[in-house]
Structure 1
Amino acid sequence: MSRLIDSILIPTDGSEGALAGAKRAIALASRTNADVHVLSVVAVRSDLEEGTDAAESLYASLEAEAEDAVETVAEMARSADAEVTTAVTRGTPFQSIREYATRREIDVIAMGTKGRTGLDRVLLGSVTENVLRTTRTPVLAVPPNADATEIDNVAFEEFLLPTDGSDGAAIAADWGIALASRLESMVHAVYSVDTSRVSRAKAPDELLDALEDSGEDALETVREHARSADVSVSGAVATGPPADVILTTAGERDVDLIVMGTHGRTGIGQWFLGSVTENVVRQADVPVFCVPVSAETP
């Protein structure tokens, strides 16, 4: 890529949750000189026969609302001097978002984690989860309570970078450190030794020491990478369920962004980063930048 991030896709349904995602996305686009794409998907309803007058009347109304939602975000992006492309389409929301990102070679999808509910709306939260599970593109997942500041005041000063030493975590580290370098941010790396899966009463000290040593090795890999990119970095091994450790550390460090892979290792002493990522996205008070294993290395 000529830039770290050339393009950011912002799906919207006009909800407050979507606007929270849009603000963080536009702030990131402004800092990285990325182009912005704004997309609204009108969900196709199985109980309506397309082509009938009733169906087309309803879809026309929904598409008009979608156009308004798209234009609201587009105006925000233009105010931040971003180049903006807009689109409204019909389909299954998460599939349409994924397909648009692939077709347009989008670098990052930025979404709120909560959206509207109701007869004619799809809960954006479920759409976000489906996008996270299926896309090959990094996703910036933004919780509603992150919408607490104006775009110009959005901070990207402190990143939390969880690692389990897996290939997936390494790819996420590449993205996190590249972003930190571009945005002049500091990185805090954390490795969790999940003793809930390895009872201290039954596991020999040698096993627990080996798990902690593995953690230190994984952290040192991140530290070396960060130092080579001239990024300030700290790291620590923590004990406990990974999602709890990540959320607690994020709060203690008062980070602005969590950067993590969507899949990691499984097995004794290791954690499946996929389920951990979903739990973190659901519970985090700050945006989570989720990087799939298949994402292009920045």
Structure 2
Amino acid sequence: MSLIAHPYAGRADLDRRAHHHAVALAAASGSKLVSVHADDGSADRHPPERAGDVLRAWGLDPATVEHELRVRETPTDPVEVVLELLDHLEPDLVVMGTAQHRGSLRALLESRAEAVAAHVAVPTLIVPTEGRAFVDATGHLRLDRVLVPTGDEEAMRVAVERVGWFVDLARADDVDAELLHVAVSGRPAPELDLPDHPHLRWSRRERSGPLEESIADEATRADLLVMATRGHDSVLDWFFGTHTERVLRRLDCPLLVVPM
């Protein structure tokens, strides 16, 4: 059985969409769901809905998903505590929310999502609290188009492998996956033989222009953006560095961060 972890902030308006994506993915894949939280003692923090209640509201069997809560009280950095909890759990996928509106709360949630995604050894799905989602209000999971910006050949290979993995996890069917090369400094698109997958159709696209704007513009037509990372020394330097804030502010679709 796979395990999906959902670090939550403790506020329904910030957690609901990511939590629903985690529940839907767990239901589709037969995975266990564990919600984790670093409790700093704030009075207005609450756990997410039980997965069974969410499934019942969707008209599904509430027993489909095994759901566990793990909370640790801490006066210190909550990100550190969440990373410790995730390290102990060893999940197959982490699902987190990030706020899209401006201000200190958005910046805080973005920094936490980025910190977790940059330090865990498994893929992290970052779901915006606003904008588009691939799980609707009825729990239906729809993954029609996946966008994969290419970096070097190795990063592209890892991202491509995880696209197939995620499509299998989500039990998605008839998915268009597009490899996007943004021509920067004359760098050619990497060459890679694309794997056959019964539920995937691959295509390639090349465009020029500013990196962040180009990716965000193409992502407006995608249900999911997939990027591979070596931490701060990778194609996701575009994300986990000075480009991170710029891209995440523009994105309105979920982002799957894949470690190398």
TM-score with structure 1 setting the length: 0.70
Structure 2: 5+ residue stretches without partners: 102-106
Letter in 1 for 2:14: G
Counterpart secondary structure, 1:24 = helix
The answer to whether the Cα contact below 8 Å between 1:15 and 1:115 also exists between their aligned partners in 2 is: no
Quote the Cα distance in structure 1 between the aligned partners of 2:110 and 2:164.
Answer: 28
Instruction: Give the corresponding residue for 2:112.
Output: 127
The answer to whether the Cα contact below 8 Å between 1:128 and 1:141 also exists between their aligned partners in 2 is: yes
Query: How many angstroms does 1:169 deviate by?
Result: 3.3
Aligned partner (choices 37, 47, 53) of residue 34 of structure 2: 37
Query: How many angstroms does 1:147 deviate by?
Result: 6.8
Structure 1: 5+ residue stretches without partners: 44-58, 117-121, 199-207, 294-298
Quote the Cα distance in structure 2 between the aligned partners of 1:26 and 1:141.
Answer: 14
Instruction: Give the corresponding residue for 2:47.
Output: 70
Query: How many angstroms does 1:93 deviate by?
Result: 1.8
Aligned pair in 2 of structure 1 residues 151, 260: CA closer, same or farther (>3 Å)?
A: farther
Aligned pair in 2 of structure 1 residues 154, 160: CA closer, same or farther (>3 Å)?
A: same
How do residues 8-27 of structure 1 correspond to structure 2 at under 5 angstroms? 8-12=4-8, 13-27=10-24
How do residues 127-206 of structure 1 correspond to structure 2 at under 5 angstroms? 127-146=112-131, 149-181=136-168, 182-184=171-173, 185-194=175-184, 198=185
The size of the alignment, in residue pairs, is 240
CA deviation profile, 1:73-117 (whole Å, cap 9, x unmatched)? 54545545211011111233212222222211111111111299x
Question: Matched residues, percent identical?
Answer: 21
Quote the Cα distance in structure 2 between the aligned partners of 1:188 and 1:143.
Answer: 21
Aligned pair in 2 of structure 1 residues 158, 272: CA closer, same or farther (>3 Å)?
A: closer
Larger radius of gyration: 1
Aligned partner (choices 202, 205, 212) of residue 236 of structure 1: 205
| Alignment pair present for 1:289 and 2:256 | yes
Query: How many angstroms does 1:165 deviate by?
Result: 2.5
| Alignment pair present for 1:275 and 2:226 | no
The answer to whether the Cα contact below 8 Å between 1:157 and 1:186 also exists between their aligned partners in 2 is: yes
Query: How many angstroms does 1:282 deviate by?
Result: 3.5
Quote the Cα distance in structure 2 between the aligned partners of 1:147 and 1:76.
Answer: 23
How do residues 35-114 of structure 1 correspond to structure 2 at under 5 angstroms? 35-43=32-40, 59=41, 62=43, 66=45, 69-76=46-53, 79=56, 81-91=64-74, 92-114=77-99
The answer to whether the Cα contact below 8 Å between 1:264 and 1:273 also exists between their aligned partners in 2 is: yes
Structure with higher strand content = 2
Quote the Cα distance in structure 2 between the aligned partners of 1:191 and 1:255.
Answer: 15
Query: How many angstroms does 1:290 deviate by?
Result: 0.6
Letter in 2 for 1:111: M
Counterpart secondary structure, 2:203 = strand
Instruction: Give the corresponding residue for 1:119.
Output: none
RMSD: 3.1
